[in-house]
Amino acid sequence: MAAGWVLAAASFFAGLAAGFLGGLCLILRPVQGEMGGREFRGFMETFLRYADNGWGKAYNYAWSMGMGIGPIVALVLLRDDPGSASFVLTAIGLGIVIVGVYVVSNVWKTPQYKVILAWDPDALPASWEADRQRYFNINWIQLATTWSAFILFLIALLELPR
C-alpha cells in the first residue's frame, strides 16, 4: 500500500516535469526559434530569472526531487521482491531520471544557460544559432526522459499486487 502511494507521487512529479518540458519543447521552442539572437538572449534572461527564483525555483525543485526521491523510497519498500515488474520498472525509471534529468541538467543544461547569458546582445558570437540549437536539443532529451520516467512509474504502479 505504501509503495503504491509513493509510486503515485513519483508519477505525479514525473508528470509535472513531462508537462513542463512538453510546453517548453512544443510551444515555447517554436516561438524561440523565430527569435533573432538578441531577442532569444533577452527572453532567456527573463525566463531564467523566474525559473531560478521564488515559485519557479520551488516548482523545479519539487518535480526534480519528487521524481528522484520517490522512486528510491519505492525501491526500498519493494526490496523484498526485486524481480517484480514494479521493482524493475521503478529502477529503470530512476536510472533514466538520474541520467536524463540530473546529469543532463548539471553537465549540459546549466552550463548552456551560462553560455547563452554570456552573449553580448550587441555583438552576438558566430556560434549563437548552434548554441541555441544545443539548448533546444537538451530540452528534447529531457522531454523524452521525463515522459519515459512518467510512463515507467505509472506502469510500475499498475503492476503492484492488489
In the chain, what are the domain boundaries? 1-159
Point out which residues pair with 123 in neighbouring strands. Answer: 120
pLDDT per residue as tens digits for the range 7-54? 999 999 999 999 999 999 999 999 999 999 999 999 999 999 999 999
The whole-number pLDDT of residue 143 equals: 97
Point out which residues pair with 120 in neighbouring strands. Answer: 123
Which cell is 11 given? 508519477
pLDDT per residue as tens digits for the range 64-77? 999 999 999 999 99
Rounded to whole angstroms, how far apart are CA atoms 64 and 98? 10
pLDDT exceeds cutoff 90 at 162: no
pLDDT per residue as tens digits for the range 104-128? 999 999 999 999 999 999 999 999 9
pLDDT exceeds cutoff 90 at 160: yes
User: Mean pLDDT of all residues in the chain?
Assistant: 96
Q: Cell numbers 536524463 label which residue?
A: 100
Rounded to whole angstroms, how far apart are CA atoms 125 and 115? 10
The whole-number pLDDT of residue 161 equals: 87
pTM of the full structure: 0.92
For range 127-138, the mean pLDDT = 97
